[in-house]
Chains A and B, each alone.
Chain A
């Protein structure tokens, strides 16, 4: 085992960790913002919307994330340059970079998987609680904001925490579209130093460390937001 490359590449690994964390948090944020309505319309929404949401979840969950990522980056991304005038527009610096495509692909994936979780979560909230909220005169939106959504999230929080860790473990795929996060930096080290095991083991160690931190963070959140005993 030779580790003399480590000091030279340490700053890049720190950048890589930062990029991984950005990718993870943005995907969870946008993904959950989509997953909540997707779960909700499947429980109460009008038929066509519920059907659409269900089809979305099936497609996302039925195809590999790698294919979705490549479809969005190579497939959709390759169509933008042919739009006239787009290279002069303000959007071009965003469209040219791979990172936004990764965020879109991972967010859609989170939305698909967590949409299914949220469907179960909304369904699992006791009817009596919703009726009680309505009985004291809350508008439907108030019921959702103050009772339904908080109760649903509370019930599935451990499931969601597990799913977010799965999302972390999917982020190395972004390296295949030139987003150099932790795994991507490891691949660069592998190419430049011709060492196989050391960079891979180091990268594995970083992921175990991030997973541990996330587990502790989610556990902290869970104990904090647990409802006080009646």
Chain B
């Protein structure tokens, strides 16, 4: 048992520090990707609800396609396509080719995937807001942006929150897939530590515990937030 603590020690030769650094970049990538996904999802939902046929059709294409292809395939495709497009644009404007940093690539790749899922969550939630509320707001002369800011968004959040908290948990777990592409985050740090020490069971259990802790803390925070959002509502049961 003593050796387990030595392997997990924070200072080298222990690998605990590497795992924690991996956890930090996992959280960074997840937060960035989630924020990007939320923005894309909200815009996508607005487009799907208010947009013209072309916009609606292309958004439908985006969400359907992304949700039908495995995340691992998407991550590779988006990573290569993204770097190629960026470099084509850069060389087109006469700049040097660059290598995208793993953090930003991870954020952009997972964010694009999450955007498709959160589009559907937001669309459902916005549609669930009662029409009469919107009509009342229009009747007293609010502009569209006022209606969204004061009525739609506050009213739709309780509907969207369960779906959004699920998406956050999926995002944190999806970041592990970046290990396959070679980005340094918790899963890859763990694989390196396990490969170097041959203590596979120990390190994968440790990584599992870290992911589990992240999930449990997030679930707690989301349930606190939901209680706050719903504080004025009548109890159903």
Contact = CB atoms under 8 A, between A and B. Distances in A.
Given A62-B216, A63-B173, A172-B73, A75 B81 contact: no
Interface in B193-230: 194, 198, 200-202, 204-205, 207-208, 211-212, 215-216
A6 interface: no
Contacts of B74: 204
Nearest to B213: A62
A203 B73 contact: yes
Contact of B205 (A71, A168, A172, A176): A71
Contact of B194 (A62, A63, A74): A74
A63 B180 contact: no
A196 interface: yes
User: Main secondary structure on chain A at its contact with chain B?
Assistant: helix
Given A75-B200, A201-B77, A207-B68, A70 B191 contact: yes
A59 B69 contact: no
Given A66-B176, A169-B70, A204 B211 contact: no
A189 to B, nearest CB: 13
Given A64-B187, A197-B80, A172 B72 contact: yes
Contact of A65 (B73, B173, B215): B173
A68 interface: yes
Interface residues of A, number: 36
Interface string B53-77: 0000000000001001111111011
B105 to A, nearest CB: 15
Interface string A58-100: 1101111111101100111011000000000000000000000
A104 B180 CA distance: 21
B70 A170 contact: yes
B197 to A, nearest CB: 12
Interface string A145-159: 000000000000000
B173 A64 contact: yes
Interface in A37-72: 58-59, 61-68, 70-71
B20 interface: no
14 contacts: A58-B216, A62-B169, A64-B177, A66-B179, A68-B208, A70-B200, A71-B204, A71-B205, A71-B208, A169-B70, A172-B72, A172-B73, A176-B180, A212-B68
